[in-house]
Amino acid sequence: MEKNDNFKTRVLSLVKIIPKGRVMTYGQIAALCGKPNAARAVGTIAHYGPSELPWQRVVNKTGGLASAYTYGGRVGQKAQLEADGVIVDKHNKIDIEKYIWWPK
């Protein structure tokens, strides 16, 4: 049963453990799940995944906020990241190099 959901579950679990004030990239999460080039899959899973996941801490390589693409009106994300201690730019960009986090 868990074999089919293995990748999806891994991604979701990984996002759940992102500490406050830190962020991760799609490619990074994908790589940690065993598929270094499955960044797209990560985004897809995220979009259809539970809304309780802190996807606001997940960003793309350009440092842009994730849901900014589809949920452009989701202004709460910026405030949420700032509440976590992440400085968000005017253009919804963050210092990815500074806030990137890797699980130990």
Q: Which residues bind DNA (CB under 7 A)?
A: 4-5, 7-8, 25-27, 35, 37-49, 55, 59-62, 66-67, 69-71
Write down the least CB distance from residue 46 to DNA, Å: 3
* Closer residue to DNA (CB): 5 or 82: 5
Q: Is residue 100 classed exposed, middle or buried when 0-12, 13-18 and 19+ CB atoms within 10 A define those classes? A: middle
* Closer residue to DNA (CB): 1 or 37: 37
Handedness of CA 75, 87, 65, 29 (dihedral sign): negative
